[in-house]
Amino acid sequence: MANVKNDPLFELIKSLTKSEKRHFRMFVNRSGSSEDVKFVMLFDAMESAKTYDDKLILEKVKSIKREQFSNQKANLYKQILSSLRHFHIGHNTDIQLREILDHAKILYNKGFYKQALKLLERGKIQAKDARYFTIALEFMEFEKLIESQYITRSIETRAEELTQEVNETSAIIVSGHSLSNLTLSLYGLFLQKGYAKSEADFNEVTLFFKSNLPDVKLENLSFYEQLYYHQSHVWYNNIVQNFPNSYRHALAWVDLFKSNPDMITKQLSLYIKGYRHLLGSLFQLQYYSKFCEILAEIDALAKDENVVKDLNTEALIFKFLWISKINKHFMEGSFEDGVELIPKLLKKLKEFENKIDPERVLMFYYKIASLYFGNGDFRKAIFYLNQIIYFKDVSLREDIHCFARILNLIAHFEDGQDFHLEYQIKSTFQFIGKMNDQQAVQKEIFQFLRRTGKIKPDELRLEFQSLHDRLSVLYDNIYERRPFLYLDILSWLQSKIENRPVKEIVKEKFKSLR
């Protein structure tokens, strides 16, 4: 039996909506050939199956022999994509533009050069209006080909005008690519390393950012150039933990779409990601009232059927909306309410398992574990931390792997599993050493936990206070502040000093900030 996850055709069929399935049957039945009947039968057999099993499918479709199965699947896959393209063309400007380009190519091949040029001109204007400059350049390059090979006498100065138009559009594309490349590089750096953890890290990422940032005037940039400009600044400021600047650029990112509402539907995923970074920066700044305001906006967006039209958009909103819902409970200290979200969250994770990247899954597990820890359920916290610790690719979000292990140590300590603690400390210390991630905060925690077995019970409170004082000094050092973005270690220590649940401490801090 084949693995469901490894059969792309089965996954594609299962992702189709009722209207997409209905359109597919109409689309493939237009010719009525016997070959079409075969793959329609194959489609019906796979659509009705709960799990993928090629033997059972072949038994249902006896007209397809085993040696034909691979070719029939490939043909069906192609036909479904063609049907989906036809079905969604009205909602995708870029698909419409490429269809115009295809039609112009057909006219060109038939020798209708002036008709092809008229079509290219119309498509080019639409591409520019929609800000698809790369596609607009394709139209221009085709125009150049026709104008250079055939004397159309369309306009006497056409060659000069077309050359200038190509140069202006190319400049926009080059600038946009420079900014988007910078954004992608910074994102990759964050995935690998997380937040900067030392002065050397700060200097390295700052030098990289400044040396690769094009010298531009924001007011002169096109929509996409402005978008990539703000994106690159968001990632840079996130890495160096300058969250006020991250907030400013994330807000400008979202406002850019709001001032260009036609781009929201064309680049919905980028609009939603702008909201994600806006909420992330507000969480780091603990700006609760604004956080709730923006969270309500995106919650309403998630329920808008005019916006959420497909599974991809639904999964995208789910990923950061639920992280933000959990973060709201962290801010409030309402861990008991937060853990009530977990069963529904796990069900959603299962539903979207093929739409969510591993990095996001790791983050969800860390958030879930932190909720259980804050609520005093240390066994469940350990369970979800182990989902991270035993994840096969430790190079993905090294920061989460490191702090999952540290929180795991503290959870074992709280759960009274002292017999595991020494091994856990040694294992974690070796892991963090390999990752070159030993900051002063981690070292202080290791030293404290290693000494706990030798500390008398009546002296433990003083030891907690001493550790709290030392870590408070480190919190004021920007190069040592990174661990506190992952662990609210100071609240935990205060709870131990005052012999109260950690959620009470967080709630009191929240009330004082409010």
- Do residues 15 and 311 make contact, with C-beta atoms less than 8 angstroms apart? yes
Distances (CA, A) of 130 to 79, 135, 175, 220, 262: 29, 10, 18, 18, 8
- Do residues 349 and 356 make contact, with C-beta atoms less than 8 angstroms apart? yes
- Do residues 507 and 500 make contact, with C-beta atoms less than 8 angstroms apart? no
Q: Where are the domains of the chain?
A: 4-90, 93-154, 379-514
Residue with tokens 């993928």: 52
- Do residues 223 and 256 make contact, with C-beta atoms less than 8 angstroms apart? yes
- Do residues 468 and 445 make contact, with C-beta atoms less than 8 angstroms apart? no
Return the amino acid letter for 275. Y
pTM (global) more than 0.85: no
- Do residues 170 and 138 make contact, with C-beta atoms less than 8 angstroms apart? no
Distances (CA, A) of 122 to 103, 104, 109, 133: 12, 11, 19, 14
Q: Per residue of the chain (514 residues), give pLDDT as tens.
A: 344 446 889 989 988 888 899 999 888 877 555 455 788 889 989 998 888 888 888 888 888 888 888 899 999 999 999 999 888 887 788 889 999 999 999 999 998 988 999 999 999 999 988 888 889 999 999 998 888 777 555 556 677 788 888 888 888 888 888 999 999 999 988 887 788 888 888 999 999 999 999 888 888 888 989 999 999 999 999 999 999 999 999 999 999 999 999 888 888 889 999 999 999 999 999 999 999 999 999 989 888 887 777 778 888 889 889 999 999 999 999 999 999 999 999 999 988 887 888 888 999 999 999 999 999 999 999 999 999 988 877 666 777 888 888 898 889 888 876 666 677 777 777 777 766 656 788 888 888 877 776 777 777 888 889 989 999 999 888 888 888 888 899 999 999 899 999 999 999 989 887 6
Token pair listed for 423: 């091994």
